A and B are shown apart, each in its own frame.
Chain A
Amino acid sequence: MSRPAGADRRIILDTDAVVEYADRLRDAAERLGNAGELIRAVDPGPRVFGADAPGALGELGRHLYDRWAAALSAGESQARRQGAQLAGAADRLGKLVAGHVESDQVSALGIREVGSVDAGGPTTPPDESTA
């Protein structure tokens, strides 16, 4: 059965599974965002690398510690950044689930196709070109 023109323009995606999935995404995003603290906590500090030792061994220890610290710092930044990205994905799903987003807005979010507003069959996705 074909849908009346415009009747499928509202997003309906309020299944429990999607709500739960969005929550899981949000939880993963939060854990990733907090991973920076865990990564920092792993650092035993420069003395362990001999950074305060005299002579060539101390110089080597400082270099090794700087290299290690830089690797940790890169991981910390990346975890935070990727946590934010997952949070964005959770938000996008959340908006769909809430059913407050019109199809053209959804397209702008890069998420379309959302189920059916009637029993007449699958909806026609909004035009991809609006994304």
Chain B
Amino acid sequence: MIRFPVVEDSLAAVAYEGRDLLWRAELVIDQMGVPGDHDLAALMRKVRTGPAQAFDTLLELSPEPMLDAAAALRALAAGHRDELVEPLVRALPELDWVGEGADGFSMRLTRQVSDIVGDSEDSLVSRLTAAADVAASTAGWLSRARRAMAFVVAEALGSREAVTLKRCDLPDRGVDGLPGSGIGHAGLADAAANVGAAVLSVVEEWHAAAVDVFV
């Protein structure tokens, strides 16, 4: 059973701008800390990464190899059933072998065949199919987490916090606020924390969904 059907996601479309924004936010958080009582602190304890790292993790992971693995495993299982075992079962009566010995052989072979292609969850084909479901479910979960991340990052990119963080030329000037802009330490820290919390909330939500289903 596939627990998370795969969906399209547009994370790649916000990759460049999203990384820039989130690394700015993470740098501010690293250097200035989290404003008191902000949700971000608890989220960072749960997720145990900064928002940019979490974004990069989801960006770098792709559902495709998992889906390919699941498809290959299903093809292997189907091949065992359709090309290997079932022709043997169909051909057995054609031997024109009758009597107790034939019955005994047939019964024993039928048991062996059932162990390979039967409906029981212990059969080989069932095991391979279950393994394929694990990969396909993981791929589906990942696609949904990536889609949720794409939405929240797209929203963050259009936010006032993004404007604040973008105006701060972090790599060259550090995070001393923006002189003359009216944006000081507190404004920067709040902007970074808000963006970081929005992103990590998505990560925390999808992590919890995976734990519920997979762990």
Nearest chain A residue, comparing its CB with the CB of B94: A17
Chief secondary structure at chain B's binding surface: helix
C-alpha spacing A21/B80, complex, angstroms: 17
Partner of B69, one of A17, A43, A61, A79: A43
Q: Is A50 an interface residue (CB 8 A)?
A: yes
Mask, A98-131, CB within 8 Å of B = 1, is 0000000010001111110000001101001001
A24 touches B91 (CB 8 A): yes
Q: Is A4 an interface residue (CB 8 A)?
A: no
B36 to chain A, nearest CB (A): 23
Q: Is B99 an interface residue (CB 8 A)?
A: yes
Segment at the A interface, from B14-22, B129-137, B167-175: B129-137
C-alpha spacing A117/B128, complex, angstroms: 46
Which chain A residues lie closer than 8 Å to B46 at the CB level? 56
Given the interface pairs A28-B88, A42-B73, the reply to whether A54 lies near B116 with Cβ below 8 Å is: no
C-alpha spacing A113/B100, complex, angstroms: 6
Chain A, interface residues (CB within 8 Å), range: 35 or more
Nearest chain B residue, comparing its CB with the CB of A45: B65
B48 touches A54 (CB 8 A): yes
B210 touches A60 (CB 8 A): yes
A49 touches B66 (CB 8 A): yes
Q: Is B72 an interface residue (CB 8 A)?
A: yes
B115 touches A82 (CB 8 A): yes
Enumerate B103-151 residues with CB–CB distance to A below 8 Å. 104-105, 108-109, 112, 115-116, 124, 127-128, 130-131, 134-135, 138
Which chain B residues lie closer than 8 Å to A78 at the CB level? 124, 127
Which chain A residues lie closer than 8 Å to B54 at the CB level? 55, 57
Q: Can you spell out 18 A-B residue pairs with CB atoms less than 8 angstroms apart?
A: A15-B95, A21-B91, A39-B128, A44-B66, A56-B48, A57-B57, A57-B207, A64-B210, A68-B131, A68-B135, A72-B73, A72-B131, A74-B131, A112-B100, A114-B99, A115-B97, A123-B99, A125-B99
Interface residues of B (CB under 8 A from A): 46-49, 53-54, 57-58, 61-62, 65-66, 68-69, 72-73, 76, 80, 84-85, 87-88, 91-92, 94-102, 104-105, 108-109, 112, 115-116, 124, 127-128, 130-131, 134-135, 138, 203, 207, 210-211, 214-215
Instruction: Rank and list the top 3 A-B pairs by shortest CB-CB distance, nearest first.
Output: A113-B99, A113-B101, A112-B101
